[in-house]
Amino acid sequence: MKKMSTKKETRTKNAYLLLEDGTIMKGRSFGCQANVTGEVVFNTAMTGYQEILTDPSYCGQIVTMTYPLIGNYGVNANDVESVKPQVRGFLVREACARPSHYRSEKTIEHYLAQQGIPGLEGIDTRALTRRIRQCGALRGAILMGGPEEKVWEGEAIAAKHCGAIMTMDEIRDLVPNEAYQTWKVHLQKLSQHLVSGPHLIEKVTTPQSYVIPGEGFRVAVIDLGIKENILRMLKSLDLQLMVFPAHTKVEEIQAASPQGIFLSNGPGNPKDATAAIEVIKNFLEPQKNIPIFGICLGHQLLSLAFGGDTYKMKFGHRGGNHPVQDLRTGRVYITSQNHGYSIQEESLPEFVEVSHRNVNDGTVEGLRHRHLPVYSVQYHPEAAPGPEDTAFLFDEFIANMEAKAK
């Protein structure tokens, strides 16, 4: 007897997630139907999917959420961290088709379709996360279904592999050769996919410098893909913000005579942001004594400018509840995080103090110059999404500028 199709089945199409280690997972496409390639990373936040989708730090990445229900409070025009989604693709267990929230304007499916981002639902995102934790972040591709569909749907496969996460080789005899060969070609392409490079920051930085007026201190903001909420927080402090593209030369920034420098978050490997590192080195000259504050990528760039080193972590920190200890006070804060690189502590020069540490794995979460008003954090004090425990860090930046102005 022909199975009656439900509404959900008619709105979706089979699609696959292929990882560079040959893992293949079947799901249903939602949002835009397109093949994409990116670095697959997991985020453990229970809410905040809209902010995550639009955070420019995710540029070039395919994000999977460990929380099983995504889209339950819908999508609205205000909770975005940039003008469009920045992820390459989105993997969820269940995309909620009927959101319920007074601010909801559309479903996540509608939003991703409108914005040209492919989503994949029905993925066992926890099994996927375990695989990433074992192997480290992996390149992956979202592939729309092809000739393999009919066979994969077969009862025998379903029974044999129910709930399992499989590799292409494990199911080689169960799918038509044509499908296997297609996946092989995609696997080959995946191995050549560049997960980082200067192109990522160039995609998300402002094309031109601009000013956000305010009555307070003049702050040069180096935009490496800045989140809206960082700008909102800086604006709320009534600063006069001069926002510069990532590749701006130091002379141009100096000509604006900033009283403070803010270094933003951003995508990719910090070592690719060579122009910004040079700018920071210049402003670190002791006679300038200029207050600097960096968040996430900004923090990593600061450590490179100090002469320290960074490395790629196995699978990074992405979520809304990472415990971080302030080493001066002993106090632990719950922080929002989204990063795949970290600071090589041994590489730091003597004039730099490690101010914060991750309680889970001991990695460096904050730095402070011992003699200059310069500090940075790896986590996101601006939240969005996530806890607002450490918003006071912005006040310290103002205090540093006030101290210098006296």
Ligand X SMILES: NC(=O)CC[C@H](N)C(=O)O
The reply to whether 339 sits near ligand X by the rule CB under 6 A is yes
Shortest Å, Cβ 299 to ligand X: 8
Of 10-18, 163-171, 233-241, 336-344, the window that binds ligand X (rule: CB under 6 A) is 336-344
Q: Respond yes or no: is residue 296 known to be catalytic.
A: yes
Shortest Å, Cβ 313 to ligand X: 8
Among 340, 373, 381, 385, contact with ligand X (rule: CB under 6 A): 340
The reply to whether 87 sits near ligand X by the rule CB under 6 A is no
The reply to whether 57 sits near ligand X by the rule CB under 6 A is yes
Among 341, 375, 394, 397, contact with ligand X (rule: CB under 6 A): 341
By C-beta, is 217 or 333 nearer to ligand X? Answer: 333
Q: Which among 32, 51, 296, 365 is annotated as catalytic?
A: 296
Shortest Å, Cβ 71 to ligand X: 23
The reply to whether 381 sits near ligand X by the rule CB under 6 A is no
CA–CA separation, 386 and 380 (whole Å): 8
The HSE-up count of residue 379 (CA atoms within 13 Å, CB side) is 34
Residues 350-379 that bind ligand X (CB under 6 A): none
The reply to whether 267 sits near ligand X by the rule CB under 6 A is yes
Q: Respond yes or no: is residue 135 known to be catalytic.
A: no
Among 119, 245, 268, 386, contact with ligand X (rule: CB under 6 A): 268
Of 68-76, 144-152, 158-166, 332-340, the window that binds ligand X (rule: CB under 6 A) is 332-340
Closest CA to 125 of 45, 229, 38: 45
Both structure tokens of 71: 């889209």
Residues 296-325 that bind ligand X (CB under 6 A): 296-297
Q: Give the contact letters, 144-183, x = binds to ligand X (CB under 6 A), - = no.
A: ----------------------------------------
Closest CA to 380 of 31, 81, 74, 50: 81
Q: Which residues are annotated as a binding site for L-glutamine?
A: 57, 266, 268, 297, 300, 338, 340-341
By C-beta, is 94 or 202 nearer to ligand X? Answer: 202
Shortest Å, Cβ 151 to ligand X: 39
- Measured in residues, the chain has a length of 406
Active site residues per annotation: 296, 380, 382
**Site residues, ligand X (CB under 6 A):** 57, 265-268, 296-297, 338-341
